[in-house]
Amino acid sequence: MNSALYFETTEEGDKVCKSRISEEQEDHLLKLQRSASLCSNFSLYSQNLVAKDYTYIASGTCSHKCCFICNYHRQKSLRRKYVKWFNENQVLLQISNGKKNKVVTTDQFRLKYEQSGFIVIKDLEYDLMHLTLTVPHYADAGFNGQIFFYTRIIELFNWMRKDSPWLEMVYGGEFGVETERKESGLHIHIHALLLVRRFFGNRNELHRYILKKWNALSVNEYSRREAISSLAREKIKLSNNTLTDEDINSLNPKGATIIGLETIYTLINGAKVRATTWGSDAMIKAVMETISYHFEPHAFNKEENKINIELLAELLPHVYRKILYKKFGCLHGERSLNISAEVNEQELIQDLAEAAAIQVDEETGEIISERIFQIVNPAYVFHDKGNDNKIVFSQKAKKTAKILDVENTTAAVRKLGEMIQGFHKPKHDN
């Protein structure tokens, strides 16, 4: 990890440790350190008394938005939810009560609208698209004088989604705000998954609308670009072959002139394959590649494989209590797609059933075998890479493990929850 500390030499020749971070930044770092250090300390395992092997079941997490452990759990949980959701929602529903028309999911119609006099008019097919939005920004002035423009970029995105062209083409979706450090300063941008009305040429038509609208919304008064160069014009044309010179002439040089919009696909043997087969591995992979941006560790440098502590300290106060992920349109209020890192009994049973090495009673959801359940700190647990990552308890794990007086998985999970609630968890709002 990059060091946030450095040494200065005094006139007397002594070296004094200094910090590059403020007291506020240090306070947020300490909160994260405490949360992450306690995260998953209570982890539940079962042991087969015949085979003597161990199975990981669940952990109590800290729920800090910057905790890499929690983000892993959120990503795993959300993947399962989207697999199930897309299998059950291959079409959306257009409904009406004679006065209002709405586009909703099957669950929303059943739980909210069916009893209110709405009827289904027709099924609606849709395409999935990945949208990336950036704004012109600079190291010294950020975006219109704001270095940390999280709130502003979300406001602009919200405004764009209220326009008629958007509402006519986009049924709904979800988005997250991500951050990278570049030479031009903090690169704060949006990744979104869109459910787009299916019609011929929908990608190009939606791209044209978003490009022109986002360009107007994202004007940076600090920009020194007075005209769009010929090279930039060519890049814009390559992004959408239906754009005309008149379209490009209408763009403001001080606003964003490139957006990313693509129908999601996956790579098979190096070729792009449109992922439109519902429930297929290709479709789910493509969806998760889009959503996975929301779970990237903050300030993690993939090339150097380490966390930039100074950047993390810089970001934490500005993402504090900010909602950086949200569903909108027909996905707003879709509870089955909510992000949570908390232990959920039904989800755990499904996880266990998917594990090939575990037999689960289909009626009761219980593990079939004589097992004991133990809570242990996973810091004392290892994985044998040479033996299919088999779980191995160290001697300290065996000595410190708490064996639960329970008979089944559900009771063990409930006991884990009780222990977590009884333990003093770090208080933080993130």
Angstrom CA distances, 430 to 4, 189, 315, 345, stand at 22, 20, 12, 25
Task: For residue 118, give the amino acid letter.
Answer: F
Rounded CA-CA distance 118/128 in Å is 27
CB atoms within 10 A of CB 11: 5
The backbone region for 162, taken as left when phi is positive above 0, alpha when psi lies in -120 to 50, beta otherwise, is alpha
d(CA 85, CA 105): 10
Q: Specify whether the backbone of 310 is left (phi greater than 0), alpha (psi in -120 to 50) or beta.
A: alpha
Collect all residues with Cβ–Cβ distance below 8 Å to 99 and sequence separation of at least 6: none
- Per-residue tokens: 385: 């890479």
Length of the chain, in residues = 430
Number of Cβ atoms within 10 Å of the Cβ of 266: 18
Q: How far is CA 310 from CA 4, 148, 314, 379, 403, in A?
A: 5, 15, 6, 27, 42
Cα–Cα nearest to 353, from 371, 370, 369, 365: 365
361: which 2 tokens?
């009673």
For position 430, what pLDDT does the model report? 55
Cβ within 8 Å of residue 407, ≥6 positions away: none
What was the pLDDT predicted at 322? 83
Which H or E run contains 390?
strand 390-393
Bridge-based pairing of strands 185-197 and 260-263 is: unpaired
Q: What angle do CA 160, 163, 168 make, to 5 degrees?
A: 115
- Predicted local confidence at residue 292, as pLDDT: 73
Q: Which pLDDT does position 75 carry in this prediction?
A: 76
Predicted local distance difference test score (pLDDT) of residue 250: 96
pLDDT of residue 1: 40
Residues of the chain with pLDDT under 50: 1-3, 5-7, 16-17, 341, 343, 345, 349, 351-358, 424-429
pLDDT at residue 17, as a whole number:
46
DSSP per-residue letters across 150-175 = HHHHHHHHHHHTTSHHHHHHEEEEEE
Per DSSP, the three-state class of 404 is: coil
- Domains of the chain, by residue range, sit at 39-63+342-430, 69-87+129-171+181-322
Q: Hey, what long-range contacts does 244-252 have (CB within 8 A, 24 or more apart)? A: 247/208, 247/211, 247/212, 250/212, 251/211, 251/212, 251/215, 252/215, 252/216, 252/219
- Give the number of other CB atoms < 10 A from CB of residue 48: 16
Cβ-proximal residues to 344 (8 Å cutoff; 6+ apart), any chain: 77
Angle at which helix 68-88 crosses helix 281-291, to 10 degrees, equals 140
* pLDDT score, position 400: 92
β-bridge pairing 92-96 and 54-59 = unpaired
